[in-house]
Structure 1
Amino acid sequence: MAKHNLQWDENKLKRFLREGRGQGEGQDYKPWVTVQDFPSKGRCSRVLGWKTNRIHHLFTDSETRYFYLLEWEDAVVDIREHFPLLDLEEVVKEKDDLNFNLFQDKNSGLPYIIYTSFLITIKDTDGQKRYIARSLKADYELQRKRSIERLEIERRYWLNKHIDWGIVTQKDIPTVKAKNIEWVHSSL
């Protein structure tokens, strides 16, 4: 019996929505995908967040290190990993030049739900909340057509939502600082 059901169909979509995935904030947020949903191609982490008091599901070392950097920042008040773009069809109006066929299940034909690595809530010095979205990718993935297409979809989505979006690679993450924060984080 297979441990992971990688098939994407209407039943799985309904189950994810019924479970409340991609919904909520802070302690009540449930990521769209968790480490149990996919077989690992590397090291996955589940980390109890200081700011959210919930388990965060992180698929790569880069995601984990970036998460620790976010945890350390005083202005960050919420970190939502694997945030789904559930209203993508309504938000992105200009999509004729995008190839959405790359992001659908070959068997069911159902489009996959595209998600952004992190949706971060920041409290400004004047007490106002604002959001930033960050997509984490390995630098070599930026050469792949599928990755570029997905990132362009995300960019247009967040642009239309008026939310600052950007790409973060492993080269943008200060590894030593992240590891030091991880060490402190685990001690507390």
Structure 2
Amino acid sequence: MQEACLYLWFARQQEYFSSQQPFSKGCTVEWPFDLSLYPPFLRARLKKGFGLGQGETYMPWIRVRDFGSRGDSANPSGIKIDRPYHFLSTPEKCYFYVLEREEDVVDIQEQFPILDLGNTIRLCAKYKVRHAYRNGFPEPFTIDFIVTRRTDTGTITEARSVKTKEDFDKPRTKERLNIERQWCSEAGIDWARVDPTPFHP
């Protein structure tokens, strides 16, 4: 019964995304606010705004407080966008400071969820990757950074995952990043891994 209900929600999502093309090239990345597009187990967090919005209204899917007193997490305020940011590692924080100083960057969305669960589940099955679950339900993949840049012809969107060589060499990390990359490719979003080595003297 649960699987049948999930299938209906995912089918509705895919029908909407196919017709609206919310992530077509040149558009900023933002999930629709219509909660009926998402399965019920995500709605409590979405209703609070997590994973939704742009600029000052954006709220990351994962927050520093979700990981207790983890020593390398950080919660700085932005200069370009005046809101608190949530970073789970020092490399993420360092990359954020780099982006803050790049003139063409107009928006930075950290811990961005891929709420298109139907397609991430499909991709996991295709590449034989275990999809994350929370309390028995699929949990969205999250991308470290969605970066929106201004160009002469409009805006472009980039997906960036900040991973050290040590993290990247872990099999589970490689699997998850491949699902991110494949999903971004299908959505028309440029994806790349950021090596944080240059951030350290």
User: Given the two structures, how large is their TM-score scaled by the length of structure 2?
Assistant: 0.73
1:43 and 1:34 map into 2 onto residues whose CA distance is 13
Partner Cα distance (2:182, 2:121) in 1: 6
Matched, 1:32 2:61: yes
Task: For 1:37 and 1:12, locate their aligned partners in 2 and report how far apart those are by CA, in whole Å.
Answer: 18
SS at match of 1:74: coil
67, 79, 82: which is aligned to 2:111?
82
How far did 1:58 drift? 1.0
CA displacement 1:137-185 (0-9 Å, x = unmatched)? 22112222211110011001110111110011321x4335xxxxxxxxx
Q: Runs of 5+ in structure 1 lacking a partner?
A: 1-9, 177-188
- Aligned partners of 1:56 and 1:81 also within 8 Å: yes
> What secondary structure sits across from 2:130 in the alignment?
helix
Residue 13 and residue 27 in structure 1: after superposition, are their counterparts in 2 closer, same or farther (change >3 A)?
Answer: same
Q: 2:47 aligns with which of 6, 10, 18?
A: 18
Q: Tell me how far 1:120 sits from its aligned partner.
A: 0.3
Give the equivalent residue in structure 2 for 1:159. Answer: 185
Aligned residue number for residue 56 of structure 1: 85
Q: Is the 8 A contact 2:120 2:179 kept in 1?
A: no
Q: Are 2:149 and 2:157, in contact at CA under 8 Å, matched by a contact in 1?
A: yes
Offset of residue 91 of structure 1: 7.1
- 1:92–1:156 Cα contact (<8 Å) kept: no
Question: In percent, how many aligned pairs have the same letter?
Answer: 34
Matched, 1:118 2:158: no
Residue-by-residue CA offset, 1:36-77 (whole Å, 9 max, x unaligned):
111344322111111111111111110110000000000000
Q: Structure 2 counterpart of 1:114, which letter?
A: F
- Between the aligned partners of 2:120 and 2:41, the Cα distance in structure 1 is 23
Q: Which amino acid aligns with 1:138?
A: T
Superposed counterparts of 1:120-139, under 5 Å: 120-124=147-151, 126-139=152-165
Residue 194 (structure 2) pairs with residue 175 (structure 1): no
- C-alpha separation between the residues in 2 aligned to 1:109 and 1:100? 17
Q: SS in structure 2 opposite 1:96? A: helix
Matched letter for residue 146 of structure 1: R
Q: Please tell me the root mean square deviation across aligned C-alpha atoms, in Å.
A: 2.2
Dislocated runs of 4+, deviation >6 Å: none
Give, in angstroms, the shift of residue 99 of structure 1. Answer: 3.5
Letter in 2 for 1:46: N
State the alpha-carbon separation in 2 of the partners of residues 90 and 12 from structure 1: 17
Structure 2: give runs of 5+ residues left out of the alignment. 1-38
Deviates more, 1:145-154 or 1:87-96: 87-96
